[in-house]
Chains A and B, each alone.
Chain A
Amino acid sequence: MSGAARSRVGLAVVVAAVALLPALESDFQRGLDSDAVIIALLVLSVVVLTGFVGQISFCQYSFAAIGAFTVGALMDGHGWSFWLALPVGVAAAVLTGVLVGIPALRLSGLLLAVLTIAVALFTDRFLLVTGTWDGFSGGAVPWHPERPSLLGAPLTGSYAYYLFVLAILCAAILVVWNLRTGKTGRVLRAVRDSELAAATVGLDVTAWKLAAFGLSAGLAGLAGALLAVRIGSVSPGSYDFLHSVQLTALATVMGVSTIASAPAAAIGTVFGPELLSGISVSSTWFPLLIGGTLIVQLVLVPEGAVVRTRNDIARLSRLLSARRGRDPAVAGASR
Chain B
Amino acid sequence: MTALLDIAGVSKRYGGVLALDGVSFRVDRGRIKGLIGPNGAGKTSLFNCVCGVLRVDGGHIRYAGRDLHGLRPHRRARMGIARTFQTLELFRELTVLENLMVPVDARSPRGMLADALRLPRARFEEHRADERARALLHFLGIADVAGVRGGDLPIGIQRRVELGRALALRPTLLLLDEPAAGLDSRETADLAGVLSRIRERFGTTMLLVDHDMSLVMRVCDDIAVLDYGRLIAEGPPERIREDPTVVRAYLGESAA
Contact = CB atoms under 8 A, between A and B. Distances in A.
A193 B92 contact: yes
Interface in B80-110: 82-83, 85, 89-94, 98-99, 101-103, 105-108, 110
B108 to A, nearest CB: 7
Interface in A208-260: 211, 215
Contacts of B93: 189, 192-193
B91 A194 contact: yes
B168 to A, nearest CB: 8
6 tightest Cβ-Cβ pairs between the two chains A and B: A202-B106, A202-B77, A197-B89, A199-B73, A182-B115, A201-B103
Interface string A187-199: 1011011101111
13 contacts: A179-B116, A182-B115, A182-B122, A183-B110, A183-B115, A189-B98, A196-B89, A197-B89, A197-B165, A199-B52, A199-B72, A201-B166, A202-B74
A192 B94 CA distance: 10
A188 to B, nearest CB: 10
Contacts of A178: 115-118
A199 B74 contact: yes
A238 to B, nearest CB: 28
Contacts of B101: 186
A183 B52 CA distance: 25
A215 B90 CA distance: 26
Given A183-B122, A184-B112, A201 B106 contact: yes
Interface string B100-136: 0111011110101001111000100110010000000
Given A178-B115, A178-B116, A200 B51 contact: yes
A203 B91 contact: no
A153 interface: no
A175 interface: yes
B74, B103, B165: residue with the most chain A Cβ atoms closer than 10 Å: B74
B138 interface: no
A165 interface: no
B204 to A, nearest CB: 15
Q: Size range of the interface on B?
A: 35 or more
Given A182-B126, A183-B126, A189-B93, 15 more contacts: A182-B115, A184-B116, A186-B101, A187-B102, A187-B106, A190-B91, A190-B99, A193-B90, A193-B93, A194-B91, A197-B89, A199-B77, A201-B77, A201-B168, A202-B74
A199 B103 CA distance: 10
Contact of B102 (A196, A203, A204): A203
- Per DSSP, chain A at the interface is helix
B78 interface: yes
A204 B112 contact: no
A264 interface: no
Nearest to B47: A200
Nearest to B73: A199
A186 B105 contact: yes
B53 interface: yes
Contacts of B72: 199, 204
A169 to B, nearest CB: 15
A187 B105 contact: yes
Contact of A197 (B90, B98, B122, B125): B90
B108 A183 contact: yes
Contact of A203 (B74, B85, B126, B168): B74
B51 A179 contact: no
B169 interface: yes
Given A184-B112, A197-B89, A201-B165, A190 B53 contact: no
A199 B106 CA distance: 9
A117 interface: no
A198 B106 CA distance: 9
Contacts of B105: 183, 186-187, 203
Nearest to A172: B116
Contact of B78 (A179, A192, A196, A202): A202
Contact of A200 (B77, B94, B112): B77
A199 B82 CA distance: 10
Contact of B112 (A186, A189, A211): A211
A64 to B, nearest CB: 21
A215 B51 contact: no
Nearest to B165: A201
A175 B116 contact: yes
A205 interface: yes
Nearest to B100: A201
A213 to B, nearest CB: 13
Contacts of B103: 201-202
B68 to A, nearest CB: 13
Nearest to A205: B74
A202 B126 contact: no
Contacts of B122: 182-183
B73 A200 contact: yes
Contacts of B116: 175, 178-179, 184
A198 B94 CA distance: 12
